[in-house]
Amino acid sequence: MHSLIYDFSTGILEDSEKKIGLIKRTIADTIDIYENKDVTTEKGKELAYFVQSHDPQPNIEGALQFGTSNLLPGDINGEFYMTKGHTHEIENRAEYYFGIKGNGLLLLMDENRNTKIEEVHSNSLHYIEGYVAHRLVNIGDTTLVVGACWNADAGHNYDAISEDGFSVRIMKSDNELGYEIRRGK
Ligand code: PAN
Ligand code: ZN
């Protein structure tokens, strides 16, 4: 019998039919998003995050896709590890994120570059409206694990973010929060 298991305490997806996708991104794959891109070749080879996903009806209008993002802890020259960030290719497609483990921030930037920041932790729930660019930042010292559910036909558009970035950057700090929000472009 086909079994599809989601472990709600670890975010791990398991499918007896092995139809789970896996995307891995190294520091080098994502280096363009950081303000100070100065890293060694060795550092560039390290894993920044991986995403497991279950997408039984790829690109079908009305179908859903489900996944878990695992963002490692660390920083690049004082800027916390983060996902590339994107809007959806079909821009009106919304998405839910939910925190499983670790401590992070979700950056939500609208079309006017106004950014809202939500704290991500175990049991936090986040509704991402269509047209809104979204990025996870790991501000903790353990892997940030975040579940997600979105339309299978949404697609990812990385172009605008890779050109103009988000309007804020999350930097390491000695203050009581451990991070500082800096205005970007
Ligand atoms: C997530 C993201 C995942 C990785 O599944 O794709 O967190 O982030 P980037 O795609 O920005 O590298 C999602 O938002 N899907 O739509
Ligand atoms: Zn998305």
Distances (CA, A) of 99 to 33, 38, 42, 59, 147: 23, 31, 30, 25, 6
Q: From ligand 1's centre to the CA of 148, what distance in Å? A: 9
Q: List the pLDDT tens digit at each of the 185 positions of the chain.
A: 889 999 999 999 999 988 899 999 999 999 999 999 999 999 999 999 999 999 999 999 999 999 999 999 999 999 999 999 999 999 999 999 999 999 999 999 999 999 999 999 999 999 999 999 999 999 999 999 999 999 999 999 999 999 999 999 999 999 999 999 999 86
Q: From ligand 1's centre to the CA of 88, what distance in Å? A: 10
Phi, psi dihedral angles at 122 (to 5 degrees): -50, 130
84 pocket-lining for ligand 1 (C-beta < 6 Å):
yes
Instruction: Note the pLDDT of residue 63.
Output: 98
Containing H/E element for 80? strand 79-80
- State which ligand 1 atom lies nearest to the alpha carbon of 134: 14
- State which ligand 1 atom lies nearest to the alpha carbon of 158: 11
64 pocket-lining for ligand 1 (C-beta < 6 Å):
no
67 pocket-lining for ligand 1 (C-beta < 6 Å):
yes
Q: From ligand 2's centre to the CA of 44, what distance in Å? A: 24
User: End-to-end distance of the chain based on CA atoms, in angstroms?
Assistant: 53
What is the C-alpha to C-alpha distance for residues 13 and 114, in angstroms, rounded to an integer?
34
What is the C-alpha to C-alpha distance for residues 27 and 11, in angstroms, rounded to an integer?
22
Instruction: Give start and end residues of each alpha helix (H) in the chain.
Output: 27-30, 41-44, 159-164
**What number of other Cβ atoms are within 10 A of residue 93's Cβ?**
18
